[in-house]
A and B are shown apart, each in its own frame.
Chain A
Amino acid sequence: MPPMPKGIRKPKDTKKTLLRILQYFNDYRWHLVLVCFLVILSSAAGVVGTYFLKPIIDDFIVPMIGAPSPDFSGLLSAILVLAAIYVVGALSSYLYSRIMITVSTGSLYKMRMQMFTHMQKLPIRYFDTRTHGEIMSRYTNDIDALRHMLSQSAPQLISSLITVVGVFTMMLILSLPLTLLVLVMMVAIFWVIKVVGRHSANSFRAQQKALGAVNGYVEELIEGQRVVKVFCHEAESKQAFDKLNQELNQSSSRANTFANILMPIMNNLSYIHYALTAIFGAIMTIYSGTRDLGIFSLGLGALVSFLQYTRSFAQPITQVSQQFNIILNALAGAERIFALLDEEAEPDDGYVTLVHASLLPDGMVQESETRTGIWAWKHPHQDGSVTYTQVKGAVTFEDVDFGYEENKPVLKGINLYAKPGQKIAFVGSTGAGKTTITNLINRFYDVPDGKIRYDGININKIKKADLRRSLSMVLQDTHLFTGTVMDNIRYGRLDATDQEVMDAAKLANADWFIRHLPQGYDTMLTGDGMNLSQGQRQLIAIARAAVADPPVLILDEATSSIDTRTEALIEKGMDRLMEGRTVFVIAHRLSTVRNSHAIMVLENGTIMERGNHEQLLAQQGKYYQLYTGMFELS
């Protein structure tokens, strides 16, 4: 393959990154020591093996020519020694490759695990401020570059370096004058690498740009292909594509030409070098036969060895020049991986935990070992005493200000209280801050101490995992995982029995369509539940929340993709699900929120109106306008 600097990004701090990569090999340090030793052994065997041609020809073949009874024992033993060297070389090269597989797959496994577990700990903010593609490429492109470097480039780099040094030394030993010729050749080689490399990098950049344009156009037009059809716009889009495609053709041909010509040029430069060496070497050999030339003297065997060396000299240099790009790319990738690993994990200094509890006759709460259906907050105090508060689901906001970015407040002075068992609804247009409120309740984002209380406890004191376990969310974009329908509903509570799962599905009115799936509850869902309609996925998500059976429920546009008829069908189930729980509802469709205890109309981060449906209608304000359709929700 030609060298392909795909928009090479240079690492910022090579040394630091290298040292950090090395840490991953800590478990394999002895493996690596062995690998280094074996690499040296195998390249040395190649170099020394070639050198052996000299004594074999000069000492054991040429002197025998024309001898009446030639003695081949010298030749035989030399060949046997050479055979031993060669076997050692081949064996070491197999062994180091084999060990490197263990080392590279093992350390990459470790790195992937670390990335994934760390990723799970990162705050939602991290995911909200990056595209999925960006994070994915850490796992795919960057890890891949690293893998390439570990399994191929690194050993090759070492062996190339050793070969170059070894060959050069041997050349010096064989003939000083011919080695001077090598130096001249080296200047030429580096010049070619530099010139071709510069052009190649420039034209690859141009190609990358053109490719981006073509791919972008392809993506847009294929996504909108149905619209193209409806408007009979085929001819125009073909024409526009043609233009971009031609531009890509131009730049790509140029870029690939530069990549393609490097190898033949280097290869044939080495042949020119070979020819020059042959001429000078042959002349030196001829004169060496007749008089003493000092450093210019050269035997036939030495010439043969030297010629072999000239062929094996250019190759490692070309290889190193190609590996260099790969290594730089891998290091830059490693830096991005480390950036992910260095990302600060979601802080969790909460110490109030959620426990199963039972109520004593006197109304006291007592911790219980088993699931009772009653939960309590276990609140350890500084003096060592522990108090228990029953989880009821009272949530209060006190003058909460919040913004995802500084100076861009999303919520301003929000005050609200939800009594246990109440249904609180939020309505308002996109960007008004509805979802943000729910993001704060489950601490996807944090606000200063004491602003939000849950059963009277400052939520920043509650351990995040426990806080979230006490809340269940059904989101607008439902996400299903690869696995059966059963697994997906059970995601809400891992120890739920099959019966409990089915009951939850019935509650969400999902049971009927699940039974119609090819394998019922055991139907495999793949690719985020691609084989289900959006409405069906929402029903599964509702069942998932039902099986979790939490005291507080957050429904963020949970029924937006369900048509009004089906919504009416699941209404009973939803009512049962909401019974006895504190529920926060965000809905676009006002019919969903009508029976709430309190409806908050949000606008620009503040609560404009609050009250129940009748009160708000009577008020004839914003809610009234929304409800009568005089206002557009987006």
Chain B
Amino acid sequence: MRKILSLLKGIPLWMSILTPILIIGEVIMEVTIPRIMKDIVDIGIANQDIAYVTLHGGKMMLMALCSLAFGALAGWTASVASIGFGTRIRKALFDRVQDFSFSNVDRFSTSSLITRMTTDINNTQQSWMMLIRSLVRSPIMFVSASMMAFSLNKTLSLIFLIAVPILVAVLVFVVVKAHPRFKVMLEHFDALNGKIQENLIGIRVVKAFVREKHENNGFSKTAAELRDAQVRAERLVIFNMPVLQLMIYACILAILWLGGRMVVFGTMGAGALISFISYVNQILMSLMMISMACTMLVISKASITRIAEVLNDTPHIPDDAEGNPDVKDGSIIFENVCFSYNGDEENCTLNHINLTINSGETVGILGGTGSGKSTLVHLIPRLYEVTSGSLKVGGIDVRDYPQETLRNAVSMVLQKNVLFSGTIKENLLWGNPDADDDTVIAACKAAQADGFIASFPNGYDTQLGQGGVNLSGGQKQRLCIARALLKKPAIIILDDSTSAVDTATDSKIREAFQRELANTTTLIIAQRISSICDADKIVVMDNGRIDAVGTHEELLASNAIYREVYESQQKGVA
């Protein structure tokens, strides 16, 4: 919470301070108006003094105009303040997420990060606006109207001593009681939406298994539960309005009866009586507004917590290397490396990995789903941090490099790769913003992407939709490889990056790699043996351990897993 508030700086901060001041001005004008009305009645009318009436009426109009100016200005400042605040939170959140390590993103999941950046910020912005407007306005209104009433007639003000506690008690009771019920209702809402979503995604399954009735029955139950939860929650809230009305009415009646007698006995003017009735409205309404604003704040509290969670989560991998050594070659040494996604050493995804890769070697990595191949290569550019043991790139521990130096030297093509909306060229320049056209084309030629890019009417300036939707899977993968090549890295890692590329093109890419990246260490994770069989070294992974390391021939001769995979892929070819 404090973290979020510390974002309130500059113009939004000044506007946030100015808004309550303007609102105080507006409120003072508003509570003074009934007071003047009293004078008009008790002095002006009583003395039949038209000049007095006109003068004070004019004063009243002037005050209303001032109040209008204050109110409108406050509307403007509140909007600048809260929107500005929201803008800053949004920026802080975005920046924070950009700095996140992979493990931070794993913790939050992409979709929840998106909700936090959209819906939750919106809620926070709105509640800030409410806080500096309504939540300031109502208590001030309450206090100043009470003071006015008190100064008009102390005895009559005692009525409020009875009415206010009763109203407060009811409002608090309703808010406290209703809150858990609303929470339950929201849970039922989620359940209902989940059910619908599930049916939309799985409609083919539902229809294929003829389960429409089954689903209808399930939905009917969920919908009925929601209905009942809603009734239970709203049943309470509707007490607020009638109770408020009743209190206002009761006060007016008491004032008319008691005040009426005072007027008759001459201890109070009729004008004071009239003003008093106006103050009843202002005092009790402000209580109501406070309770409404509080309810809103409680609802948005969840959003604020969710934002704070992200802001408070520091990147798990700190970028705090002291020196700035260069990556001098592409050698990689794993020394007794263990890794676990949750840091739990008992339950590691990778166990005691020892592996030496010389600079310029081509290494293939093979293994079943969940054997730890991807995890292993993610450690090299320090996308995840080793749990124990050490990992050296170019002879120096990865933790001793600034992250940018390391990652510029280690280029990785992810399994789940993403292209961004923009032209093909813009996407490629991510690899190296300063690359000239020839360099870009050369990289694309090596990745066997130049051919299809050139066949597009707009060539390298072809616009890609979000995620590169207008390309085929194989084309996307080749673009991603080209993008990675443009970095001119010391080490390049292909994490199952040619799965959708046909074998012929795949082998052409590998040929190009050998020709042009002779000094670059190349790591290839692949499902197809054909993609890695001519590597200098093949690592067979199984269950988080290295099962064997060797060349294709060695492994065929000595390793059971390798042979099994080879045979399953070769069957029938011969």
Contact = CB atoms under 8 A, between A and B. Distances in A.
Interface in A208-261: 214-216, 218-234, 236-238, 241-242, 245-246, 248-249, 252-253, 256-257, 259-261
Interface in B216-250: 216, 219-220, 223-224, 226-227, 230-231, 234-235, 238-239, 241-243, 245-246, 249-250
A286 B48 contact: yes
A233 B430 contact: yes
Contact of B64 (A233, A275, A628): A275
Interface string B134-171: 00000000000000000000000000000000000000
Interface stretch (A17-25, A116-124, A419-427): A116-124
A410 interface: no
Contacts of A113: 216, 219-220, 223
A591 to B, nearest CB: 7
A609 B24 CA distance: 84
Given A222-B114, A283-B53, A286-B45, A278 B40 contact: yes
Contacts of B71: 261, 263-265, 267-268
B263 interface: yes
Contacts of B100: 225, 229
B68 A268 contact: yes
B245 A93 contact: yes
Contacts of B45: 282, 285-286, 300
A66 B267 CA distance: 11
A49 B250 CA distance: 12
Contact of A629 (B114, B204, B502): B502
Contacts of B63: 271, 275
Contact of B118 (A218, A261, A278, A567): A218
B200 A135 contact: yes
Interface residues of B, number: 158
Contact of B44 (A98, A282, A311, A527): A282
Given A102-B231, A222-B97, A120 B206 contact: yes
Contact of A274 (B64, B199, B245, B420): B64
Interface residues of A, number: 151
Contacts of A565: 368, 561, 564-565, 568
Given A227-B417, A233-B430, A282-B44, A475 B204 contact: yes
B30 interface: yes
Given A234-B99, A276-B57, A282-B40, A631 B569 contact: no
A120 B277 CA distance: 59
A279 interface: yes
Nearest to B486: A231
Contacts of A191: none
B263 A61 contact: yes
A269 B72 CA distance: 12
A563 B369 contact: yes
Interface string B482-511: 010001000000000000111111100000
B202 A481 contact: yes
Nearest to B229: A105
A433 interface: no
Interface stretch (B81-89, B393-401, B550-558): B81-89
A469 B210 contact: yes
A56 B133 CA distance: 38
Residue among A108, A117, A253 having the largest count of chain B Cβ atoms under 10 Å: A253
Given A230-B381, A613-B572, A132 B253 contact: no
Nearest to A144: B189
Interface stretch (A79-87, A373-381, A390-398, A600-608): A79-87
B421 to A, nearest CB: 6
B80 A121 contact: no
20 contacts: A56-B256, A97-B242, A101-B230, A101-B238, A135-B200, A139-B193, A151-B234, A222-B114, A225-B98, A226-B102, A226-B418, A229-B407, A231-B407, A263-B71, A275-B33, A275-B58, A468-B208, A479-B201, A482-B195, A629-B504
